Chain A
Amino acid sequence: MAEPVLRVENLCCGFHTEDGYIRVVDGVSFECEAGKTLGLVGESGCGKTVSALAVMGLLPQPAGVVEEGRILFRGEDLAATSHDTMRVVRGQQIGMIFQEPMTALNPVHRVGKQLFEALRLYESGLDKDDLTARAVELLEQVGIPDPVRRLREYPHQLSGGMRQRVMIAMALAGQPEILIADEPTTALDVTVQAQILDLLRELQQERGMTMIFITHDLGVVAEFCDEVLVMYAGRIAERAPVGRLFNAPHHPYTRGLIESLPRMDTPSRTPLNTIEGVVPKLTEMPAGCRFSNRCGYADERCGREVPALESCTERSAVREPRDANGGGDTEAVEPRAARHEVACHHWQRLAA
């Protein structure tokens, strides 16, 4: 099998705060397969953005620290490279769409000026006409009508959907191989979200881009991602191909999340399933499994011993649901697509 484009190994990072150092990402590992979309899902504060910023070498300084771990891009360890090298990698190899469009777009500068700056980072010697031509081309690629006029506008003059398109254009300026999109549609209305997801899908196909898609919306994960990492309190709880994640979740947290969604095909006004309690503060985490104080399967061992992320595919036959209804579809299931790992002492009980 081909070497993954990006491999993150045992990433641990955190922040120096008034209350001392706090680790917020604790031993996260994953790979991104070329041309595929990896979803990073979990509830607010679980460390999705911090993990992505660490990969980009953009943790806020001086508070943010990557303590440990390797971030291998095409075999080269980004965690160990210099700031200058990182600047080149950023944008040209890995582009990012940031969670807060208004913080990533400077409100006092025209859209054009900001795009020109992004373009200049990657290519020197462009004159004003070249820059304009390139910027117009970028805006056209992300489906912005009347791009020449848009260049002269300020971010606040654009609708939410248009702003997000500009953000995507900026992330694409360096023609990256990997695009990290951090909640790119969360602030948008659902019909606008559908437009933006369509656009990302098209761009990915045209460019063969690899994507890391961060979201807390399981519906978006189901429709957009190939493989999914579920994070809980800074750690990976489960990792699975998207079909398996939804049809056979093996971690109590994943199952709880999926079951707590209101569904369109169940009767309305019935109680939803819930996960009791709240995520503990980072300073008050249980010693063993971090989910143990909310988990219906927890026993004494769970409170004591951290469960390792282990494969759960050997026992159950692997069947990709995407192909299941297809009948005659005989496309071979790649070994990687079958990879299903879970960090729970009692996953066998859920598998049964």
Chain B
Amino acid sequence: MSAPLLEVRNLTKFFPVRAGVFLRKVGDVHAVDDVSFTLHRGETLGLVGESGCGKSTVGKTILNLLRPTAGQVLFEGRDLGTLSHAEWRAVRRDIQIVFQDPMESLNARHTVGQILEEPFVIHKLGTPEERNIWARDLLERVGLPRSAVSRFPHEFSGGQRQRIGIARAIALKPKLIICDEAVSALDVSVRAQIVNLLLELQHDMELALLFIAHDLSVVRHVSNEVAVMYLGRIVERASSNEIYDQPCHPYTRALVSAIPLPDPGRERDRIVLEGDVPSPIEPPSGCRFHTRCAHAERVCAEKTPEWETVTPWQQVACHRWRELRGEIQD
């Protein structure tokens, strides 16, 4: 198999928590703790988990918007933490991001044309005339009229603004796009349009997508592989079919069982978790899920579970997955 486009190794990001008059450091938010994964050209890795589990922090760290506390991000084999400023600028063309709310990332006082020409201006590409043509081409590519260049973001609906955000992200023909809840705020019918657009662009441009979202049904649909995060750690990784058909981690199982399905009358075994997610400032010892897990035993509180292989397409970090799988099949 070819070398991965993106490789994240033991990525860790702590945010200091300060308190008191002298703002002394009193602890750390363990936002991301020892996260590893790989992503190949043209493929999609879905990163799913609930609010505060650290998935957006992973995205920001890859983009160098945050410095990792420990661990490495390798892009085309190069450690991004060791690049010079100039080298980073070149790499940055290849990694783009699309956010949940395009209004926050699009300059409201700029026309759509200016917004789309900006990446070319920053990287000193083309003449003003060429840039204008490229901006129009981009609009057409994402299904908006070429004439939209002269209008402003607020004149567009949410779905149309997300198309503008995507147009900007693909302007420099990147190799990787990080989609951080990119379709989460959209209505069902619009969401389907944008999902299709992403799949189509991915196919045509051989784009890799890191698709970060809380909605497992959408994540599963766009991804080749899905990683499930809980309290800063990945607890399970699997192909998009396995993750739903045979989840092995008790947290993944709860997550899957909680998704409301548009299928009335279908009987389901729902696992309703008790309580709230514990604080990431002093996360539980051992397996972070042990405080809410119905199957936890002593070892779960004492030892961090190692990665274990279920099938070549599925890995899980749970002490008891083997026994539990037996229980379910009975």
Nearest CB of chain B from residue A47's CB, rounded to whole Å: 14
Which residues of B from 136 to 172 have beta carbons under 8 Å from A?
Answer: 157-160
The residue of chain B having its C-beta at the shortest distance from the C-beta of A275 within the complex is B189
Q: Is A128 an interface residue (CB 8 A)?
A: no
Q: Once the chains bind, are B273 and A218 in contact (CB under 8 Å)?
A: no
* Interface SS of B by simple majority: helix
Q: Is A44 an interface residue (CB 8 A)?
A: yes
Nearest CB of chain B from residue A227's CB, rounded to whole Å: 11
Which residues of A from 265 to 292 have beta carbons under 8 Å from B?
Answer: 268-269, 271-276, 278-279
Which chain B positions have C-beta within 8 A of A276? Answer: 193
Total A-B residue contacts, Cβ distance less than 8 Å: 134
- Give the residue of B189, B199, B264 whose beta carbon is less than 8 angstroms from that of A321: B264
For the complex of A and B, the 6 pairs showing the least CB-CB separation, nearest first, are: A219-B260, A262-B221, A260-B192, A189-B50, A43-B187, A194-B258
* Distance A250 CA – B90 CA, assembled complex (angstroms): 54
Nearest CB of chain B from residue A153's CB, rounded to whole Å: 14
Which chain B positions have C-beta within 8 A of A161? Answer: 276
Nearest CB of chain B from residue A225's CB, rounded to whole Å: 8
* Distance A273 CA – B159 CA, assembled complex (angstroms): 16
* Distance A159 CA – B278 CA, assembled complex (angstroms): 11
Which residues of A from 240 to 281 have beta carbons under 8 Å from B?
Answer: 242-243, 245-247, 256-258, 260-264, 268-269, 271-276, 278-279
Which chain B positions have C-beta within 8 A of A198? Answer: 272
Which chain B positions have C-beta within 8 A of A257? Answer: 188-189
Q: Once the chains bind, are B192 and A223 in contact (CB under 8 Å)?
A: no
Nearest CB of chain B from residue A128's CB, rounded to whole Å: 30
Which chain A positions have C-beta within 8 A of B44? Answer: 269
Which chain A positions have C-beta within 8 A of B200? Answer: 271
Can you list 17 contacts pairing A with B, beta carbon distance less than 8 Å?
A44-B158, A189-B214, A190-B214, A194-B273, A218-B262, A221-B262, A224-B260, A246-B262, A257-B189, A258-B262, A261-B188, A263-B262, A268-B221, A271-B199, A274-B189, A278-B159, A278-B190
* Distance A269 CA – B223 CA, assembled complex (angstroms): 7
Which chain B positions have C-beta within 8 A of A324? Answer: 265
Give chain B's interface residues, CB within 8 Å of chain A. 44, 50-51, 157-160, 187-193, 195-196, 199-200, 214-218, 220-224, 240-241, 244, 254-255, 257-265, 270, 272-273, 275-276
Q: Is A162 an interface residue (CB 8 A)?
A: yes
Which chain B positions have C-beta within 8 A of A242? Answer: 264
Which chain B positions have C-beta within 8 A of A273? Answer: 192
Q: Once the chains bind, are B261 and A43 in contact (CB under 8 Å)?
A: no
Q: Once the chains bind, are A272 and B195 in contact (CB under 8 Å)?
A: yes
- Give the residue of B187, B199, B270 whose beta carbon is less than 8 angstroms from that of A269: B199
Q: Once the chains bind, are B264 and A190 in contact (CB under 8 Å)?
A: no
Q: Once the chains bind, are A222 and B260 in contact (CB under 8 Å)?
A: yes
Nearest CB of chain B from residue A271's CB, rounded to whole Å: 5
A4-45 interface mask toward B, CB cutoff 8 Å, 1 = contact, 0 = none? 000000000000000000000000000000000000000110
Nearest CB of chain A from residue B78's CB, rounded to whole Å: 29
* Distance A162 CA – B260 CA, assembled complex (angstroms): 21
Q: Once the chains bind, are B214 and A274 in contact (CB under 8 Å)?
A: no
